[in-house]
Amino acid sequence: NEPLEIVDPEIYAVLEKELGRQRDTLEMIASENFVPRAVLQSQGSVLTNKYAEGYPGRRYYGGCEFVDIAEELAIARAKSLFGAEYANVQPHSGATANAAVLSAIATPGDTILGLELSHGGHLTHGMKLNFSGKLYNAVSYGVDPETFLVDMNVVRDKALEHRPQVIIAGWSAYPRHLDFAAFRAIADEVGAKLWVDMAHFAGLVAAGLHPSPVPFADVVSSTVHKTIGGPRSGFIISRDTELAKKLNSNVFPGQQGGPLMHVIAAKATAFKLAAEPEFRDRQQRTIDGARIVAERLTAEDSRAGGLDVLTGGTEVHLVLADLRNSPLDGQQAEDVLHEVGITVNRNSVPFDPRPPMVTSGLRIGTPALATRGFGDVEFTEVADIIAESLKPGADTAALRSRVSTLTEAFPLYPGLVQ
Ligand code: PLP
């Protein structure tokens, strides 16, 4: 029972270094966040020892009386947070949640219609190497080549052409709201189920700052670790209790064995925190921060960018910088920002002339910095640092020191020693 630093100093060093990296740099990967200490505590707890196959009150193992309480709390809180009649909080990740959803509402060989991966869709929405593209006949809709927006007339045309059994609304890289009512109408017209994957924008929905898909979708899946800022994992909700049995059996035993009870307990805590006023304030700062970044990157003054951003702005927690007309490609831009201490990911833009490992875009997200406490003033400074970094001849040392000023003013996990 020796502590980690004694048992495995090499891994202990990794943990220490990673804590230092998170503290000393600006995390702007749109799918990342910083979990509260309370969530770290559950995830590092003795709940990791417990097998609990089955569902609360109907387990295949003894000794589940306490973990049942954790799972019941997580279910009740997820339902209440999103106004759903049903919740399954067992998916280990967003991808397993999505595999369970598809196996519950479609049969292998069925046609599924989702947003094209290179236009901002996700692997699990029909990419050919993913289970979704291998097991199902995956077809896609793209964004409009002029506006970069999802055009619901195109979605309807594709649905009428392919007659899918499932229509998927959701994205990993798209800076605008989707029209869930229009997706519902199209699904009804062609007799498809509507599945919304809100993995990215779930926190905004929970805060009431983004339209909710729950009233429109047959089923909604999500991760907990992006805008919500909870443990790395997934969940499924629905207003349709008739689907409940199918969804449950497609998570367990369909996709998974024993649930990760330490993670489920942490989900319960994340959902509890998401119902509090501070959470709404954080989501508001997240959205405001993304809007400020978009405005500063595109502004034509000496400090700002003069860059393009897809759709001209954002309504959510991320901005997609369009580098097709910039001297730097996505890889170079990611590397320059890494040098000044800002972590983002390069991202293909729709109709990207460059290959996927290079790309012509950057996905820049604000959730983690909003969690760190950033508001309008700090996001303006961050945006200007990004814009200046991407200009020819940038003074990276000076920019790195401006990053340090921000990280020092907003300490992360104060007092935590790995
Ligand atoms: N769905 C969407 C829309 C996502 O963006 C992601 C993650 O990137 C996932 C699902 C998968 O989540 P995970 O990485 O937890 O499997």
What is the residue-averaged pLDDT of the chain?
97
What is the per-residue pLDDT across 198-235, written as a single tens digit (0 to 9) for each? 999 999 999 999 999 999 999 999 999 999 999 999 99
pTM over 0.90: yes
pLDDT of 116: 97
- Residue 356: cis peptide before it, omega within 30 degrees of 0: no
Q: Of residues 226, 282, 296, 363, which has the active-site annotation?
A: 226
Q: How many CA atoms lie within 13 A of 102 on its CB side?
A: 29
- Looking at residue 346, its pLDDT comes to 96
CA distance 320 to 301: 20
pLDDT at position 327: 84
Residue 254, marked binder: no
- Provide, rounded to the nearest whole percent, the portion of the chain with pLDDT above 70: 99
> pLDDT by residue (tens digit) across 353-364?
999 999 999 999
Report percent pLDDT > 90 for the chain.
95
CA of 386 to the centre of ligand 1 (A): 26
Question: In this predicted structure, what is the pLDDT of residue 302?
Answer: 62
291 is catalytic: no
pLDDT reported for residue 303: 67
Tokens of 14: 């990794």
Q: β-strands 361-365, 345-346: how paired?
A: antiparallel
Does the interface ipTM go beyond 0.85? Answer: yes
Q: Is the dihedral of CA 141, 146, 149, 152 positive or negative?
A: negative
Instruction: Note the pLDDT tens digit of each residue in 101-113.
Output: 999 999 999 999 9
Q: How far is the CA of 94 from the centre of ligand 1 (A)?
A: 5
Atom of ligand 1 nearest to the CA of 172: 5
Q: Summarize the confidence of residues 112-141 as an average pLDDT.
A: 97
Write the single-letter amino acid at 95: A
Average confidence (pLDDT) over 34-56: 97
55 annotated active-site: no
317: its two tokens = 């927690």
pLDDT of residue 417: 86
pLDDT of amino acid 92: 98
Q: Where are the alpha helices (DSSP H) in 320-417?
A: 330-340, 367-372, 376-389, 396-409
pLDDT band at 67 (very low <50, low <70, confident <90, very high): very high
**Set 176, 232, 239, 282: catalytic member:** 232
pLDDT of residue 340: 98
pLDDT score, position 306: 81
Cα–Cα distance measured from residue 39 to residue 41, given in angstroms and rounded to the nearest whole number: 5
Tell me, what's the pLDDT at 288? 98
Mode of pairing for the β-strands spanning 318-322 and 308-309: antiparallel
Q: Which residues on neighbouring strands pair with residue 319, listed in sequence order?
A: 364
The tens digit of pLDDT for each residue in 76-109 reads: 999 999 999 999 999 999 999 999 999 999 999 9
Contact 344, 407 (CB under 8 A): no
Per-residue pLDDT tens digits for 230-272: 999 999 999 988 999 999 999 999 999 999 999 999 999 999 9
The two tokens of residue 352 are 């990207």
- Cα separation of the two ends of the chain: 17
Rounded Cα gap, residues 77 and 66, in angstroms: 17
The predicted structure's pLDDT at residue 102: 98
Give the mean model confidence (pLDDT) for residues 143-162. 98
DSSP 104-122: HH--TT-EEEEE-GGGT--
What is the reported pLDDT for 328?
Answer: 92
Q: Which residues line ligand 1 (CB under 6 A)?
A: 31, 93-95, 98, 122, 124, 170-172, 197, 199-200, 223, 234
305 confidence band (pLDDT: 50, 70, 90) = confident
Annotate 185-244 with DSSP letters as a single string: HHHHHHT-EEEEE-TTTHHHHHTTSS--STTT-SEEEEESSSTT---S-EEEEES-GGGH
